[in-house]
Amino acid sequence: MITENNDPDLITNIKLDEESIATNIIEPTEIVPLVVPKLEEVSETNVISQSEKHGLTVEETVIVIEEEKVKGTNTIQSEQPFTLTDSDHKPVHKYYFSLPSVNLKDLNAKLSKFNNLEIDQNDPSIKNWKSTVENSVEFYTVGNMYQDRFNDTSSHFKQGVEDTNQKLNSISSFKFKKMDGEIKGELALLKVSTFLGLGDIINVPLPHSGLWVTLKPPAEKDLIDFYNSLFRDKISLGRTTSGLTLSNFSVYINDRLVDFIIKHIHSVNFSDINKEELKKYILIHDLPILAWGFACTMYPSGFSFQRSCINDLEKCSYVAKADINMTKLLWIDNSSLTASQKLILSEYRPNKLTIENYHKFKAEHSKVVSTYFTTKNGIKFHLRVPTIAEYSSDGLAWINKINSNIEYVVMDESSREAEEKEEMLTQYVKSSLLRQYNHFIDYIELDENTINDRETINSLLEALSADDDVRTDFLYNVNKFINDTTIGIIGIPEYDCPVCKTKQNTEPVNEKLVNVIPMDVINLFFQLITLRIARILEREI
């Protein structure tokens, strides 16, 4: 969570450690502690102050931003609004998540300019603006990951996969068949949950894997058990798994998260892929999409969010509010899919495809096949997009090795022994830094020899972690590979401020670009779970 910023500047520029990208690009930076959030982050006084400043009534300040229709042929097309109208959901007492208004690079440029302005920081609207911007930072992807994908003019991002009839297939609600007579069991529970808006059955495309999964919402008891089990596992590893090493621990989180989601998969569009074996078939790039789809089952009416106008703080400090339509935030680069892949993804009905279709889909990922880079000293690394099973296997092996070097003792965090233990653990992590990426390495070539054995690959990565030049080259190339091979991204579009009528991004990369901001999905997912559990705790007994 964002804490109070005591920096004399309005907001300090965001600085991110490039080496931390290794795990954080696909892993959460933090498990959100179970603290009941304040239900109104913006006080009524602040809202009224903003309203009076802009000549609006209190009711008008809680708005729904309508996304501007894109004219002509665009690199990114937005066919459907990403916010909900009042008719789309039932009113609830709201907690507002602060989401970014512009990409991270543009935000830092704006803040550098704003910090030179003489602004009354005691003004309620300025305080609210500042708080919203600060709290939005945690939902950026680490190192602005994936932003370059949206800036690639050769890409064609749409809100789904386009089939032969130019229809977009994307995350959507499952439609129940009409039937007469009595219903009971799980079907009855799901229909009631959907009817009351407590949960929804969601069809989710996994565009990297060629799969569709149908997800059902978790029972509240199961959600609480899952959430609490994560903390029990963390404690069992010792208190020194906090801080820097938390990102390394997150392989446990992601592994448990996928297991929990799989338990709530109703069906798959492949007849010969069992739900219990899905980790062997889902590629790691689809993990954020899978988690986002699962969040959609728990929030069928979306969630409330707010964004600060970031254009010119001297002229406008408006904070816009809306309820987000979660099913409209998946963006898929259709130019990265072949006609055969699009045809396979157009079949979302359960049990309609076979394993042959899966292998055909995977083989046609042109950006993945025969991808490698060579270091300055002649070591050639062949890359792959791993499955979740491969990611978990390699990641857990690394974590287990690190922790096996340190005695498992739960101790007072303030003790000298705890400090020494944490320092030692940090040293182990840094000494084997490149192993964070071991799951992206297919095999290695050295002279005329190949290295396929996973243990040998891991040992080599540990040795190369000590070479500054190799480490820098390695991190750059693997991150570029991850960025280039990602074709499905969860992101929120930039918008025009409804008060000053100004575009948030006044200098678009090119004339075709409608800018989308990639989001740290796993982090936001766990915050949504925290909010859901907080709602449960608020109930009167």
Confidence of residue 69 (pLDDT cuts 50, 70, 90): very low
Q: Are 309 and 319 in contact (CB under 8 A)?
A: yes
Q: Could you report the per-residue pLDDT of 252-273, keeping only the tens digit for each?
A: 888 999 999 999 999 999 999 9
Q: Could you report the per-residue pLDDT of 154-175, keeping only the tens digit for each?
A: 889 999 999 888 888 888 876 6
Residue 54 has pLDDT above 50, yes or no: no
**Three-state DSSP state, 442:** strand
Q: What is the pLDDT of residue 20?
A: 31
Round to whole Å and give the CA distance between 311 and 101: 9
**Three-state DSSP state, 502:** coil
Query: Tokens representing 406?
Result: 């340190």
Confidence of residue 189 (pLDDT cuts 50, 70, 90): low
Q: Could you report the per-residue pLDDT of 23-50, keeping only the tens digit for each?
A: 222 333 333 333 333 323 322 223 223 2
13-27, 306-320, 502-516: the lowest-pLDDT one: 13-27
**Three-state DSSP state, 496:** strand
Round to whole Å and give the CA distance between 282 and 434: 23
Round to whole Å and give the CA distance between 509 and 153: 9
Q: Could you report the per-residue pLDDT of 389-432, keeping only the tens digit for each?
A: 999 998 888 877 777 766 554 445 556 666 676 677 777 777 77
Q: Could you report the per-residue pLDDT of 206-247, keeping only the tens digit for each?
A: 999 999 999 999 988 999 999 888 766 654 444 333 333 334
Average pLDDT over every residue of 315-330: 91
**Cα distances (angstroms) measured from residue 419 to each of 239, 249, 424, 433:** 10, 18, 9, 21
